[in-house]
Amino acid sequence: MVTGATRTLIDTPPDIRQYFLRENVRYIDDLIFTHWHYDHVGGLGELEYMVQLLTKAPVATYASPYTLASIGKEFEYMMYCLATCPIEPFETITIDDVSYTALPVTHAIGTYGYLIETDETRLFYASDTGKLPPETAERIRGVDVLAMDATYWKENGYPQHHHSIQECIEEGLELDAGKIYLTHMCMHYSEPITLAELEEYLKQYDGRVVPASDGLSFEI
């Protein structure tokens, strides 16, 4: 996310270097983690030379205390590059006039989704979650944009940790989200589906529900 002169990154997946090259991102100012699983932290080592050679200062890094502790165990050699800032459930941080509220979700210990708010837009991003806890659901009701876990097509192998595509859509509609982006999709489980088939299926929602894609951008 780029806000004014500030570049805030959520998570460091293993292929973060390719993303940076594609989007021509040379540095970030702030780093926020949703949780500590490898597919969300595995690319952290790619930031070491950015700190050593370019910014020459630790990156302000926000996450739950459990997530930060887990990252510290896995990436002990990287911790000099991070200025860690633990955030508690429902705590809000503000970066360049954008607020990020850490909302608990149903996934691994210490996992957050983030309610991201500007003067004009409310967006909730939850890459990994099953059905949202009641207090989190009420906090995000009526958001303009919902980008949420839709891991499974058809059968949901881990309902306590993830949504199926249809479960994501139904919860998003129930919460009166304006636009629903399906993310974290792994469409090869149970019954495979192609992107073309999924887009055909989603036509019934008249553009309100769309699959997220690499390189997707919008202004908030």
Higher pLDDT: 156 or 167? It is 167
Higher pLDDT: 108 or 190? It is 108
Answer with the one of 61, 86, 111 that is the final residue of a domain: 86
Q: Is 108 exposed, middle or buried (0-12, 13-18, 19+ CB in 10 A)?
A: middle
58 assigned to some structural domain: yes
The answer on 205 and 107 residing in a single domain is yes
The answer on 57 and 152 residing in a single domain is no
**Both structure tokens of 87:** 């955030």
pTM above 0.85, yes or no: yes
The answer on 124 and 57 residing in a single domain is no
pLDDT tens for each residue of 164-206: 999 999 999 999 999 999 999 987 777 888 999 999 999 999 9
180 assigned to some structural domain: yes
The answer on 203 and 103 residing in a single domain is yes
Provide the CATH number for the domain around residue 132: 3.60.15.10
User: What's the CA gap between 38 and 20, in Å, rounded?
Assistant: 18
The answer on 31 and 63 residing in a single domain is yes
Q: Confidence class of residue 4 from pLDDT cuts 50, 70 and 90? A: low
137 assigned to some structural domain: yes
User: What's the CA gap between 93 and 220, in Å, rounded?
Assistant: 17
The answer on 22 and 99 residing in a single domain is no
Answer with the one of 32, 54, 86 that is the final residue of a domain: 86
113 assigned to some structural domain: yes
40 assigned to some structural domain: yes
220 assigned to some structural domain: no
Percentage of the chain lying above the pLDDT 90 cut: 84
Say if residue 128's pLDDT is above 80.
Answer: yes
The answer on 142 and 120 residing in a single domain is yes
The answer for residues whose C-beta is within 8 angstroms of residue 90's C-beta and 6 or more apart is 101, 102, 103, 104, 135, 139
pLDDT tens for each residue of 56-93: 999 999 999 999 999 999 999 999 999 999 999 999 99
DSSP string, 157-184: S-TTT--BHHHHHHHHHHTT-SEEEEES
The answer on 202 and 95 residing in a single domain is yes
Compute the residue count for the chain.
Answer: 220
Torsion from C-alpha of 219, 40, 105, 128, nearest 10 degrees: 80
Answer with the one of 86, 113, 131 that is the final residue of a domain: 86
Structural domain boundaries enclosing 82:
1-86
108 assigned to some structural domain: yes
Residue type, 65: P
The answer on 78 and 57 residing in a single domain is yes
Torsion from C-alpha of 112, 114, 115, 116, nearest 10 degrees: 170
The answer on 18 and 99 residing in a single domain is no
Whether 42 and 157 have beta carbons less than 8 Å apart is answered as no
Whether 4 and 29 have beta carbons less than 8 Å apart is answered as no
The answer on 207 and 99 residing in a single domain is yes
Whether 124 and 143 have beta carbons less than 8 Å apart is answered as yes
How many folded domains does the chain comprise? Answer: 2
Say if residue 22's pLDDT is above 80.
Answer: yes
